[in-house]
Amino acid sequence: MVNAITCGARTLSLSHPRIMGVLNVTPDSFSDGGRLYRDGRVDTDALLVRAEQMLAEGADILDVGGESTRPGAAAVSETEELDRVVTAVEALVQHCDTIISVDTSTPKVMTESARCGAGLLNDVRGFRRPQALQAAANTGLALCVMHMQGQPDTMQTAPTYADVVHDISEFLRQRLADLSAVGIDLDRVIIDPGFGFGKTAEQNFELLARLGELCTKGQPVLVGLSRKSMISSVLDRPPEQRIYASVALALMAVERGARIVRVHDVAATFDALSMWQTLSQGQQS
């Protein structure tokens, strides 16, 4: 099992669960779109305030996204995504002493983000766009490879699996082989089963229940369960009222072996994981 990930100039220990804070510089992300992107541009002042708040609350990584990947999201041009992401990464690298991750599937955005000082590339499409795999390899950065069935505009149209955990495991196994084939050291690769990306609520809950099966494959596992629609299949809550359920799901994921949780609500997640870690350490002593 990989116990630490080198992310550019920084090393992230995975000896205990880590928190990735979400920074969407988009007008249309499902939970927080428009808060950091206003009047057609990234609001860098608001971005830095939010970033510093997340770090003070316990975030270990800040994940910048310039393209919404919610179900049915409209496509964003390469030029627009570049402008959003590069503006954000440059500001964050200059002002925040932490690992900056970039949530992108676009090869040029990967390359420019690395040039600006990002340490991690987080691709919901698993580096499957043309030239994405080679661009990622050329950066030398840490990578997060996610599973998604279909594309954002169609992924929730009747997703089907023979066995959701087995099928995802096979997809990730093949992607790791593809990464290795282009010279990427798997010691810098994280995997993400892709909760909510081409999966029904029932499939998401089965995946969470059996997450431990993926967490024994050798790669650290990242999960993104924060405020997702699987919660609304149980509780009739809009995204901004899914905090407590999101924290509960993050805790369940960590109990099953996840090493990184990607969240909107850092403070609440940090408190819950601190209690879990204290109990876990006490039981081991």
Active site residues: 228, 262
Beta bridge partners of 62: 21, 100
State both tokens at 25: 């510089």
**Helices (H), ranges, 182-265:** 201-209, 229-232, 243-255
Contacts of 270 (CB under 8 A, 6+ apart): 19, 57, 58, 59
Burial of 275 (0-12, 13-18, 19+ CB in 10 A): exposed
The Cβ-side half-sphere exposure at 20, using a 13 Å CA radius, reads 30
First CA to last CA distance, the chain: 22
Identify the residue whose tokens are 């072996």.
Answer: 257
Please provide the size of the chain in residues: 285
